[in-house]
Amino acid sequence: MSSRGRGRGGGGYQDRGGSRGGGGGGYRGGGGRGGGGRGGGGGGDRGGGSFRGGGGGDRGGGGSFRGGRGGGPPQVYSVPGGIPAPDKTVTKTEDALIAPAKSVDLSTLGLQDVLPRRPAYGTKGAEVTLWANYVSLTASSKLVLYRYEMSVTPAATGNKLTQVVRLLLEAPELAEYKHGLVSDFRKTILSRQKFSDRTINIAYRSIGQDEPKEDGVQFQVKLQLTNTLATSELIEYLTSTNPSAQYDEKLPLIQALNIFLKHYAKSGDNLVSMGSAESGSSKTFAIGQLSDTWDLGNCLTAIRGFFASVRAATARVLVNINVSQAAFFQEGPLDQFILRLGTQGGLSKLQAFIHGIRIRVTHLPDKLNRRGKPVSRVRTIGWLANTKDGQGLKNPARVKAFGAGPKDVQFWLKEDSKDTKKQGGKGAKAQGGQYISVYDFFAKQHKVYIKDTQLPVINVGDRANPNYLPLQVCYVLPGQPCNTTLSTAQAQQMIRFAVRKPFDNATSIVTKGLKIAGLSSETNPLLAQFGFDISQDLITVSGRVIASPKVGYGQNRQIPTFGGSWNMLPRDSPSLKFSNAGSMQKWSCVYIEMPNDYPHAQTFTSAGLTEVLRSFHAVLGDTGIAASPPLQPFQRLQLSHNDDPELEALMKRAASSLQLLFVILPATPIPLYNRVKYLGDVKYGIHTVCSVGTKISNPKGQDQYLRNLALKFNLKLGGNNHLVDPTHLGFITENKTMIVGIDVTHPTAGNKEAPSIASMVASIDQKLGQWPGILSIQPKSRQELVADLTEMLKSRLRLWRQKGKHSEFPENIIVYRDGVSEGQYQPVLDQELPLLRAACKEIYPAPDQKKGLPRMTVAIVGKRHHTRFYPTTAADADKGGNTKAGTVVDRGVTEARSWDFFLQAHTALQGTARPAHYYVVLDEIFRSRYAKTPGKNIADEFTNLTQSMCYAFGRATKAVSYCAPAYYADVLCERSRCYLSSLFESPPASEATSMVDGAAGGLNTGALQQEVQVHERLKDSMFYI
């Protein structure tokens, strides 16, 4: 799932190929996810979406939103001359590398944990040839790159650092190397020629200036050689058929190649670069006529750009390229910008939204440099005018109120002032001048008469030495990414823009992406200068479509799945009952009304909702749940605001007498949903299921909606909704294997109040129906590796025995670890695995430990990658033009020495399907179990089990886009953000500051842990569904 709820604008949106895990019944709120991937409904570091008023303008665009093609075959990407076969040299090298791995004796491996080698390539399934969104990169065998680390004194950041590096690349001391230099414009320079370490003095000047100012800053840049990187050595390693071959400079060289690509975007005109070359993530956006755009409303525009990243693969180097969308501030006059935006949410949120935007002043003429080229006068918005501005000055500014207009902001103007300088320094004397308003100054000095005096004045200086401008003389520059949180409406528009068919994305990549990302010699002359050749079409790879499992329901009924989906209301046969239905004797329903909900509330009569509840009660019985009629069948609770104490009083009463409370929420329920979940899950210990009134009362599709709600009810009641066909589960049916999912959610960038939160879920038996979970606050915000794994796993192992009714602990533990970046694979093994083993050492009996129990397998689950596959023929495509559910790719774009694969278990509901990526970092189970079993392929066994896990998600009647353990852990992380919504919202609510240790500048983890500590009555259940 690439996004849920609201999303981060500047972080970029991908092509929306994930499968939603059912959830058609009820409402999922919460703060959303921070960082990369997942949008946050309440978590943002700069003004949330709720304050934005004003109009949004007409929907613009240029994006292609192509629908289906009637009843005909789906459109697939093709090239003249037919479909090229996958590279035979690559296949030959892959096979040669795997042959020795099949005979590896586990006893020869050392005690130190190392990333396991691929045991085999999979063979099961129908073979298909697929396009992959990769192009091949060939480098001159003579190319050597010398990597130099830069240290800049005094320290510089952001745009200033970028300009310092630009000036460095033009410095006379590097003139003889000029045409062979590239940089990431942060801390690295690459050179085709070696030169001695040196320190270069840079006299800073702004873009377009001919000469530095007399009092300008002088920077010292020290260059020190750190690596000598020969591309021939990388190719020799990648083409070697020796499984034990090593190349220590592989990652530095791949990073260097990514720096080479990023240099193009950072140095090109009308291009905007986002992401870090060091992390292998770089997105390039063309500003102007080349780009596809879409109006998001409220001063934001979505632009389609392209992600590009160099990757090492078997026998070759590839560049992964994918479409990517991001939100940008709309260019234009700042006063019109603010009028469209509106100030209904308050001036503080307005200030947070516009802080950091670069503007061009229009009341002064452009400067001309020596070449006669006009140079704009650019400023950066700091803040709105504030009563505390310039307090240290002799003649401080006089500001009537925060966000005052030009007639209510005065500054000291010297008598001899002949320029636009508005404020004296700290030593300025009171005599020989006067206070003047911003309004009068611009009228007298510049003949600019401000039309709207109610609009606030901005400060483009700093708070100590303010420099005021009226909005009327400011013009927002194009190409500025917006890192604020998108509103719900904006997120919906972004999704409309991002959702595209595979054909459209593949075509965009080839026709536009290669040029915009600097992967074509037409736009990037550095390719030829450095000796790089990049293919101008996508590669093809071999894939397989593996069979999907059947699913089982009550009364021993098994039904087939088609396209990763099935129906509880099969044609020509009775409806299905849950495989293990729960019982519910005491439950009730409440409809919550808010003041702004009046128009909707009028459609929800007591009689109408009573009838809906009667229908729902019948559905519960039809699915097998033994449910009594609801107590007090219909209650209406009128709240005056989100924090109305009447809600807590209701929840407290309900917890004392009910198993479950069904809550029908107003039309805009996010804050209320968060509060309901906190009160129910944490404070009072009562299960809650939430729905939005407009959905449950809509007769269209109501029966299916109610059945989706029943899925949640049954899981919360401890039941199992369906079972995966045991013949697809292998040794899991022996009831000796526990499967664990782990995830971590992080606050959005810039949010210093919210913590990172880790979650763990685990199965309790071989039925894989119940997955109780636990939450833990991380010691440091944005910490990826989980600190409390020992206690978390111990709690799951105890539940295995108690709730799963086992006499022994599991012999096998399979861990699916979500939320880990690619650079953290080895740290997971080095730091998290010992914590998991420590839990087992503390809890397993000595005889079990002597037997080597438990055996563990750990796989990293990757969702936020950019690899996509496209069908090459209509026969191999689903109705949406995507690859079919069950598609597996483990060749062509992987490294043979690693055990990883891509699996698309689901059918994408919209857009381009995104497969999940699985990378095995530890295996003590599959190789030892199947290596000597005739007819068993180790890779197939793990892949098939993983696909079956995608069918084990109980809240859906379809396979989800990645395996259920990781998916459940992800959902649990989402729930934790509801509990701490006051910290994840932007700006954090003032009452939440008690959970932050202000003196130490850190997190009060004890207080925070209490806020996510699920109530004793619910903690061993699936409360989070």
CA atoms within 13 Å, Cβ hemisphere of 770: 26
Q: Which one has a higher pLDDT value, 46 or 190?
A: 190
Checking DSSP bridges between strand 583-584 and strand 626-627, what pairing results, if any?
Answer: parallel
Q: Which of 665-674, 708-717, 899-908 has the lowest mean pLDDT?
A: 665-674
Q: At what angle do helices 645-655 and 670-677 cross, to 10 degrees?
A: 40
pLDDT for 60 equals 35
Q: At what angle do helices 789-802 and 833-843 cross, to 10 degrees?
A: 40
pLDDT for 51 equals 27
Q: Is the pLDDT of residue 79 over 70?
A: yes
Residue 275 carries which DSSP code?
S
The answer to whether the CB of 686 falls within 8 A of the CB of 647 is no
Band of the pLDDT at 429, cuts 50, 70, 90? very low
The mean pLDDT of 880-884, rounded to a whole number, is 97
Q: How far is CA 599 from each of CA 663, 664, 669, 690, rounded to the nearest angstrom?
A: 19, 15, 15, 20
Band of the pLDDT at 277, cuts 50, 70, 90? low
Who contacts 914 (Cβ-Cβ below 8 Å, separation ≥6)?
2, 14, 15, 17, 18, 863, 865, 868, 904, 908, 961
Q: Is the pLDDT of residue 43 over 50?
A: no
Q: Is the pLDDT of residue 49 over 80?
A: no
pLDDT for 601 equals 56
Q: For residue range 808-852, what is the model confidence (pLDDT) as tens digits?
A: 999 999 999 998 988 899 999 999 999 999 999 999 999 999 999
Q: Which one has a higher pLDDT value, 76 or 427?
A: 76
Q: Is the pLDDT of residue 369 over 90?
A: no
Q: Is the pLDDT of residue 753 over 90?
A: no
Q: Is the pLDDT of residue 3 over 90?
A: no
How much helix, strand and coil, in percent to the nearest 5, is found in the chain? 30, 25, 45
The answer to whether the CB of 817 falls within 8 A of the CB of 860 is yes
Tokens describing residue 286: 């063309």
pLDDT for 280 equals 57
Band of the pLDDT at 248, cuts 50, 70, 90? very high
Span between the terminal Cα atoms of the chain, in Å: 16
pLDDT for 55 equals 36
pLDDT for 993 equals 46
Mark out the alpha helices in 75-117 (DSSP H runs).
Answer: 88-101
Band of the pLDDT at 159, cuts 50, 70, 90? confident
Question: How far is CA 585 from its chain centroid?
Answer: 41
The mean pLDDT of 311-321, rounded to a whole number, is 98
pLDDT for 841 equals 98
Q: Is the pLDDT of residue 58 over 60?
A: no
Band of the pLDDT at 293, cuts 50, 70, 90? very high
Q: Which domains does the chain have, with CATH numbers?
A: 332-476 (2.170.260.10), 581-716 (3.40.50.2300), 723-877+921-965 (3.30.420.10)
The per-residue pLDDT of the chain, averaged, comes to 88
Q: Within a 10 A sphere around the Cβ of 220, how many other Cβ atoms?
A: 12
| In the chain, % of residues over pLDDT 90 | 74
Kindly report the pTM of this predicted structure: 0.90
Q: Is the pLDDT of residue 967 over 60?
A: yes
Instruction: Please tell me the distance from the alpha carbon of residue 251 to that of residue 336, in angstroms, as a whole number.
Output: 48
Q: For residue range 513-552, what is the model confidence (pLDDT) as tens digits?
A: 999 999 999 999 999 999 999 999 999 999 999 999 999 9
Q: What is the 3-state secondary structure (H, E, C) of 197-221?
A: CEEEEEECCCCCCCCCCCCCCEEEE
Q: Is the pLDDT of residue 334 over 80?
A: yes
Instruction: Please tell me the distance from the alpha carbon of residue 606 to that of residue 604, in angstroms, as a whole number.
Output: 7
Band of the pLDDT at 50, cuts 50, 70, 90? very low
pLDDT for 594 equals 86
Q: Is the pLDDT of residue 886 over 90?
A: yes
